[in-house]
Structure 1
């Protein structure tokens, strides 16, 4: 046995010792390349693999190259000697790289050296498909044959292909475990149980699937839907099911903070930035470092704040109010709105470039009108919850349940929870009947049912009288009347419009204002 064969056997033996300790693909291949370089004087040994996401050939491991040189080693599938070897699936030898036009030296790792540099490349084949290329440099004289080197490197690539296969299997197993863990966390989450388990309709199933897909990623999410549908809870679920779960979840209601304060609230301020700024204060973005920031009512942002947010989304950097230092933070952004942002863009009320930056992964959270089949289960869920708090178990009569299923629920899940709590306090019997339900519960402005004929008229008439009565008791201030009736200001406005009371409200309120000024 000649000297070269002994060296080759030594290399194979050392590679075999690595097999039992192979835990990380890049490190293992790097160890193999080190052995080739140190034992057989194969310089700049490199393994280039196909990146399935980018469809480019990139250097995964090397020996004898700097990190910067390795980073430059990126090739298209039809580019240079490496691309040719990958496409043909056959070895390729360049006796003198200075005379080969296909040799690109993309890494810029070869300096002026004595002697002629030869370049050898062998495909890495897995199950009949080329997945990468092994290349080495050799310093040889004119009389050297490359056949033995190619033969031996082909044996080495057969071993490397097994490591590549092992790496794929490990990644597939890790992905399976990640999905299994994600599914388990879905099942165990109290928030999930509260909102999703009782939502078995097709629209909610679709939301469930989208949350499961986007939660593990870094993608910006835009939650769309009416007020009260559960967008805040959906945002928290995405956070809890992500790798950021152990870091902060920061919520900012962009509509609740005055425009002149919102910038400092989001980005912070330095000492002396404005009157009263006696000390520097970090903003919500800094507080959310490594976690998630939830920007609710994003459609209400002013044009100035929109510009600053756009810059942050593009560059992940900002300056505090009154400061010059550029800061960077690692946060995930989830935004929500009940506005049609596409229409707002058309009207010039929202920046188009910001809209596209936010709209990476839109999720529409359906209204209760779009998931009526979930209403009975949701009502029972809230009854169960409140029975533990108030120590009594209530149920709905068939007539009451039918009325609530037909009701439009303009306040959605939030309105439902408030109603059930109000009924749990007010109703004295164990059964909630139609007469116990506030008379403003209608579907699309039409009575969902009629009370027994007792001269009181339809539920619609009763609701109108109740709305007018509440307005009269509170000097026609809509916000106060809404609070008495357990409504949001938006719901009160909806009812005033439905009953044609706008003119009456304006006249009476104007009269009250006139009396106050006298």
Structure 2
């Protein structure tokens, strides 16, 4: 009884020590070797070994051993398949295996030269969660006395190990899932923001594409210039996701949306208590974009007072958070955009000349839509597909007469105005067919002069392949909605065209 009590005391002390090792901040392998050290030093359990199960192959791989000299690495990579050797037997059986004298065990392989042949052997499964076997813990008691109690003790240690191993495996799985999801999102972003997804076939757009390809190779500061609605942010995305920084963050900020005091905090961050409402420390956009790209839209709206602070971080890559004297250094590529004529702003003293030259290292001009009218049909198709998805997959069709109206507009709002116009047209069309009359309801016709465009040939009103309603509307439009004149143009009688106006549900305009 005294011997049993002494053993219990020793095992309780060893369990406490093992729990401390497993709750430490060390990496897993060090923890596991520390457990074997405690078993060796305080529980009279020698020649300890922990083998973990490979989730992919189900075999056991030896993770760590405890030799008498304290070594923690197996001399070579050792694996045990289910049923192979004593360790494989524990894996296969799923329960503790106790051998009174290891030399008498026919399944003993002795691959590692670790175990004492004359001593007993105990192998306990390491189980986690829903009875999942994640490994095997093995050791040799110094004698064969009280082997049942020794086996239960090793099982308790195995249960403690299971919590650490299982928690780490779960964390690794979650991290791997996050990595996979992150990779998938990055691939999607690269696909969505690749040059192949920017619509443009005109020489002006080809020049933009070539500049993007060239500048994406380097870390040069880029200034994207052009009117509002010409897709400057889309170009910035294309530069980032086609560059070596594509795996890093892409952070955006509209400089026109914030006053100077908030802009400084937003870009550089602030310390707790730096100003009223600063309840905690906050990183700014420059820190968030470290090793990636920062897109500063509407850079021309920044006040001269703040331009000096911006110039410093662009030149040196250094800044301080608001309320801090500690200098931070970042590695950020800056892409700026503006619809202003910065040369005029410099001449008028509204924009620092040194900041302008710092930003204007590589200018890219995005052409206005009126300068690339030939792209309108492809743009309209692309935008209608996007609008269709927004409207639940609704089928939308753009008729030729409506397309002609699009081609004859000046588009002061550029692509953004085109998208808004098409969305209004889709809403106004009950059957999803967007023709000249639907387009006129959007207000587009009143906003533009109907001027001929060389890129678009006039419709052949005798072409029978063209939708009849389209031909009749086009003829009426050409003739100022005088049905008799339109009838002659279409080689019809007034009665015939009146009949078609009625059955084709064409509302008559009053000119």
TM-score (norm 2): 0.50
TM-score (norm 1): 0.49
